Amino acid sequence: MNEWEWQLLEAKKPVDDLRISDIEVRPGSRVKLRPRAGGDVLDIALADKTAVIESIEQDYEGKIHLCVVVDEDPGRDIGLMRQPGHRFFFTPEEVEPLAADDHKSGEVKLPRILVAGIGNIFLGDDAFGVEVARRLSTRKLPQNVRVTDFGIRGYDLAYALLDGYDTTILVDACPRGEPGGTLYVIEPDRNDLGSAEEQRCAVEAHSMNPLNVLRLASSMGPLKRVLLVGCEPGTLGPEEGQMGLSEQVEAVLDEAVKLVESLIAQISTGNNSTEELSIEKVSSGEDSVARSVDNTQ
């Protein structure tokens, strides 16, 4: 593209919305892909897939293109950092607005929920979130829920937090001085994430501090609701590292999976009251597991 073409492109006004088959679509609207016959082979491979419109763009000739992210693409959780190969362009004639955006269908639009497993598998019970995410990924969950193991990829999680999810459930080891295997549900105060300087704090590329990730995401854009399902670690292993969970944490994995599924069900039905998620005692073998809702200190 030469300089003249760039100038034409920059002169184009952004497109906020447009109508397709008498239905208004905008960034965030969901569509079904209907690529034209004889088009690009990759586009054709995406026929009948559902996707979310990320942006509506004009080229220098004034032609409209819809930039979409496919629902089934695991790379969609990379968020704003996603690279070509996770973003696809279609013309308005090649997409069909989904009924979820057509209120005449009577369908209720469910909140989008991201379940993010966090942890380092080489640090003993720090792998709690990773293991819970792995187990959840094998279970049948509603279509409005996406489960991803972020491991120690702090930047990827920070960008995913800004990717339009209504609620993000972080799953991580959470030392709070209780017996190993104790489960918590904590709702961080989004209005109390520290000063502007703290919000700009660096996120290590090969480690994961959830509070730092929340601060980074908050400094880049509005942060929606975040819950933390935490587990008191029994051990994080010696300095040289340790693979495998302790017996205390291993014993509560199934209970943790059920706890996350319970949160998903309550959020999906519109129950966002923290009071409804207050302290509850449940039995896990011979141990008593405490669930609580709290604000992080």
Do both 140 and 277 map to the same domain? yes
Task: Report whether pLDDT(140) > 80.
Answer: yes
| Residue 197 confidence (pLDDT) | 44
| Residue 231 confidence (pLDDT) | 93
31 in helix, strand or coil? strand
**For residue 80, what is the domain's CATH number?**
2.30.30.190
| Residue 159 confidence (pLDDT) | 81
- Whether 107 maps to a domain, the answer reads no
- Whether 108 maps to a domain, the answer reads no
Task: Report whether pLDDT(94) > 60.
Answer: yes
Do both 47 and 155 map to the same domain? no
pTM of the predicted model over 0.75: no
- Whether 261 maps to a domain, the answer reads yes
Do both 60 and 176 map to the same domain? no
Do both 127 and 241 map to the same domain? yes
| Residue 99 confidence (pLDDT) | 64
Do both 248 and 156 map to the same domain? yes
Which domain covers residue 58, as residue numbers?
14-101
Write down which residue in 73, 101, 129 finishes a domain.
101
Amino acid of residue 7: Q
Q: How many domains, the chain?
A: 2
Do both 183 and 52 map to the same domain? no
